[in-house]
Each structure stands twice: as C-alpha cells, then as structure tokens.
Amino acid sequence: MEITVKDLLIFLKKYIFLLIAVPACFAVLGILYSFSLPKLFTAQTVLLPEYSMAGNNSFFSMAVTADRGGAEKLVPELYPNILTSTPFGLYLLKQPITDQNGKKYADLKAYLSRDTSPSLYARFMSLFRPKSAPAKSQVSFPKSNIIFLSPEEQGKVSNAIGLVRISVDNKNGIITIGCEMEDPVIAAIIVEASKNYLIDYVEDYRTSKTSDQAAFLQKRVVEAKSRQQNAEYALQSYRDRNRNSFLNVARIEEQRLQSDYTLAQSIYSDLVVKLEQSKIKVKEERPVFKILEPAKVPLARSSPKRIVIALIFAVVGGFLTLIYIVFFKEKYHLKLM
C-alpha cells in the first residue's frame, strides 16, 4: 500500500475539523484540570563559593596536595550530598515555621503533621482506611552516633529532604538552592535554613582540623604560662631567701632555677606564636560564600504551568484522534492484511 502526498491531503481535508476540534477540547480540559491542582511557589537562593583549587573543579580535586599542607577539601560537586543526608532532614524538621497567614508552628515537623483534611468527605473516608500500627518503642544507644527512626519519622525526614533542590553549575561555579511549596513564606524559610546548614557544614569541614589544633595549642599555652609563672616565682623566692649568700651551692641552685625559668619562658613564647599562626590559618581555611541572590518570598506561582498542561492534553487528544481514525474509522490495518 503506497501513500502519496495527494492521499495525505485528501485525509487531512476529510478529517481536518476532527483533528483540530478534538485536541482543542482536550486542551480546554487540560486548562480546567490545571485549576484543580494546588498552586506552588518556588523560592531560591544563588551562591558563589570560593573554590579551594582554581582551575580544577572535578571530583579529583579532593586529592591531598602538598602545597596546601595536606588539607583535604570538600568540592562543590559534593554539596548536593550534604542536603540529602538524614542529619540535614532532622535539622530542617526542627526549624520554626511561620506561614503566609502569620500562623506560627513550633517547627517544620509540626507544620507537616498539621490536619490537611479538605472536607468532611475526606474525614469520612479516612474512617475506612486501615489504622497504622502503633510506633515501636525506640531503642536507646548510649554514647553512640547511631540514629534510630520509626517508619513515620523516616517518612517525615524524607519529605523534608524532598522539599529542597540543589544544583551546581560546574562551568560557572554557581550553586542554586530552591524549594517549591504551596506556601511562599515557608518556601523562603526552608531555602534560608538550607543555605545556612550548607555554609556551616562546609565551614566546619574546612576548618575542623585547624580549629582542633588551635584548641590544643590554647590548652598548652595555658599550661606553659602556668609553668613559666611557677618557675619565675621559684627563682625570685630563692633569690630573696639567699640574697646575701656567697656559697657556690647557692649559686648552682640559682643557675638551675634560672635555667628552668628560661626554658619555661621559651616554651611559652613559642607556643604563643604557634597559637597565633593557627588562628590565622583557621581564618584562611574558612571558605567564602558570596550570596548572588538572597532568598526572598516568591510573588508569582511556578506551578501549575497551564500552557504546558494544555499542550500535553492537546497532543494526547490528537494522538487518540489519529488512532480512532486509522483503526476504527478507516480501518487501514484491515486493508494492509
């Protein structure tokens, strides 16, 4: 069976009205359906982080380098993993929330657990749903980092993590954090909390080793200062007691005390210098995040996109119309047999 251009023109002329009317009706149905969908608002913030190794933004830039003192760096390519972790979900659930109507919630967990039943019919139908099993008693893990969550808590953590989207532009080095929700104010609050968590996490990762060294040196400085003061007190006390003594034994003891004081003073001075250097290094290791676009409450909805939904419905309507014409109206498949 050969199909020519003339056959196509005859086919279109015969069914042009049907091929236009049905997709148009489907498009109208799509628009009407879009009004039944909840309005969603997208809040986002844009960050420009400091890259620790310029010109090498790949995963392998985490390698230890000698010129950086062997410090391991967390590259932006791994930032999305930070905002998909369970600790981040637990952090979000603890954030205080205020909706667009000014109603305050103790935290995001309370907001997600609020009663959202739209009608009496939904409440009536909920009576016939199977009741959830009672939550099992939680197992305690003393002095452990193990997290134990019930299925309900794990679901809330997953819901909280799913609210946040993060993308990293490796070419321009721009990080975008977004949240899409029905409430624009809550979306902006979640974006701001996510940004703060990411910055704090990266800062702690980048400076934790140097900060530990600074804390260790701080303790040693206190000990060295106390040792220096004790040695100085012992030396001056001995000199006061033996001010008019000309014995060689007294001189030997004074020399020993003077040596102890000099050593304690030298150790204290050296530790103070190292402590100041460590504090400077902590500031140098602290990453810099430039906020290109701060989180703000969105004014225009981002979803549903009625034009896109109408086009999808129109394409589906046109496809179904062609199937109807080919297989049920003209029955071309029988002519091919």
pLDDT per residue rounded down to tens, the chain (337 residues):
566 777 678 777 888 888 888 889 999 998 898 888 888 899 999 998 875 443 444 333 433 333 444 445 667 788 888 999 999 999 999 999 988 888 889 889 888 887 555 444 444 444 554 444 444 444 554 555 788 888 888 888 999 999 999 998 878 778 999 999 888 999 999 999 999 999 999 888 888 888 888 888 899 999 999 998 998 888 888 888 877 666 666 678 788 888 888 898 899 999 999 989 888 888 887 778 888 888 888 888 888 888 999 999 999 998 998 888 878 777 765 666 5
CA 324 to CA 337: how far, in whole Å? Answer: 18
Q: Are strands 174-181 and 289-293 parallel, antiparallel or unpaired?
A: unpaired
Q: Which DSSP state fits 329?
A: I
pLDDT at 29: 92
Q: What are the CA-CA distances from residue 39 to residues 42, 105, 193, 202 (Å)?
A: 10, 21, 23, 34
Residue 119 CB-density burial (10 A; 0-12 exposed, 13-18 middle, 19+ buried):
exposed
Query: DSSP readout, 230-251?
Result: HHHHHHHHHHHHTTT---HHHH
pLDDT at 66: 37
pLDDT at 248: 64
Beta strands in the chain (DSSP E): 41-49, 97-98, 104-105, 164-169, 174-181, 289-293
pLDDT at 256: 86
CA 261 to CA 235: how far, in whole Å? Answer: 7
Q: Is 2 helix (H, G, I), strand (E, B) or coil?
A: coil
pLDDT at 213: 86
pLDDT at 120: 41
Q: In the structure encoding, which two tokens stand for residue 72, read together?
A: 């391991």
Beta bridge partners of 179: 43, 164
User: Which sign does the torsion angle of CA 75, 80, 85, 87 carry?
Assistant: positive
pLDDT at 56: 45
pLDDT at 61: 40
Domain range summary for the chain, segments of one domain joined by +: 39-127+147-324
